[in-house]
Amino acid sequence: MQTAGLALHTDKYQINMMYAHWVNRSHHKKAVFEAYFRKLPFGNGYAVFAGLERIVHYIASLRFTDEDLKYLSEQEENYDTAFLEELKQFRFCGNLYSMKEGALVFPNEPLIRVEGTIMETQLVETALLNFMNFQTLIATKASRVKQVAVGDTLLEFGTRRAQEEDAAVWGARAAYIAGFDATSNMLAGQMFGIPTKGTHAHSWVQSFPSEQEAFDTYAKVMPDGVTLLVDTFDTLKSGVPHAIVTAKKLEKAGKKMSAIRLDSGDLAYLSIQSRKMLDEAGLPYVKIVASNDLDENTILDLKAQGAKIDTWGVGTQLITAADQPALGGVYKLVEREVDGEMIPTIKISGNPEKVSTPGKKDVYRIVDRISGKAIADYVMFPDEERPHDGMRLKLFHPQHPYLHKHVKNYDAIPMLEPIFKNGLQVYALPSLEEIRSYHREQMNLFWPEYLRKLNPEIYRINISEKVWELKQKLMAEYMQVEE
């Protein structure tokens, strides 16, 4: 949870590279890195960017404590004491640009750009990727669930299965950004203002002489908004009938039971039968909540079977992103200082998809003025003429340049926001509700074909002709050197 004292939340090779630069007296050379991912998770058509708030807190409080320096002094590398003294004075003094949280983002476009000395840009890599990769992954998974459960209530129930406290709390926040309605995690509720929801466990029922007494007692203590877990013994023969009795008692007291919860068995069949029993008992207002290892695939299947479920409690599959537990975001050097000038640099790989795009870049979302929908993202150098009304823009496929089209009647929305300038925070962090609202606006900006769960249409990321030409030039130069 903490953001202070995280200077050592990094990989050792970062410290070693910083030290090598320091010894080489190149540690004040300027560098530009960009963070992005190469492949969309879950086979989805988009990802939901998250993690910026934690990155901002991390950068703003980045310090090496006396304990950190003592630990470093004990390492086998035997770092020079003068190097450790310089770390003691370390503050992030660079620039950072980022997508806004809740933005829809796509492969191979910069999500974050970091400018500064090679020393500071290297140091922040690990933590930045850690925060961005995890929260973006969970927000994307949550958005997939939201897409198949439109109009239903979604509860994040993943805390006890998450990979430790940070994952539980920040994962709950990421899910809320993407449209979940509440979390079971009280700390996430306290920290971020996320609504909290909860029922009771099977142990509550087991701790009473009878299920009926357990239900009645629970309803008596908390008569407003009661939800009863009905599958401790037998859902249809015991749980639902007893819940109906309790609901009738609440009605006599002028109260209404909120819901019953199903946590095991055939959820489609049980929800259909439970709905019928509740309706026949004159309780159409009592909702049905379902849990038990749900994800977007299970929910879609249950809906296809006619399940009568109003609220979905999604836990393990969401908070662990069980079907793809890592986003795979990377952080690559795109520009470096040579003899006082900034020179674009490229990473060459035997895997074509791993070849980086050189030079620091801006991202614009191109929105058709007639439809009001996004048609492409446009990646360009900051010193190029910004796309504007009346400027004929050529959009072409980076791998297949002959596939291209020209657009004219459009708006170009800048996607990278300045967050830090010369080490000073210049971006006011929005509230969580503002982030959720921005995410909804982003979703509305795209045609349904790009958002669908199955076989989504591919949204194009286009690079400018100057970016493409530089990339081809540097690749050709590398090949000449190799020959």
Specify the pTM.
0.96
Q: Which residue has the tokens 């109003």?
A: 310
CB 98 within 8 A of CB 417: yes
pLDDT category, 389, cuts 50, 70, 90? confident
**Domains, the chain, ordered by start:** 12-138+325-482 (3.20.140.10), 145-319 (3.20.20.70)
Mean pLDDT for the stretch of residues 262-290: 98
377 Cβ partners below 8 Å, 6+ apart?
A: 106, 109, 363, 364, 365, 366, 415, 459, 460, 461, 462
The Cα–Cα gap between 292 and 202 comes to: 13
Task: Categorise residue 51: left if φ over 0, alpha if ψ from -120 to 50, beta otherwise.
Answer: left
Portion of the chain with pLDDT greater than 90, in percent: 92
What's the token pair of residue 435? 């982030």
Mean pLDDT for the stretch of residues 379-402: 85
The Cα–Cα gap between 306 and 299 comes to: 11
CB 112 within 8 A of CB 63: no
Range with lowest mean pLDDT among 33-37, 246-250, 354-358: 354-358
Return the pLDDT at 185. Answer: 98
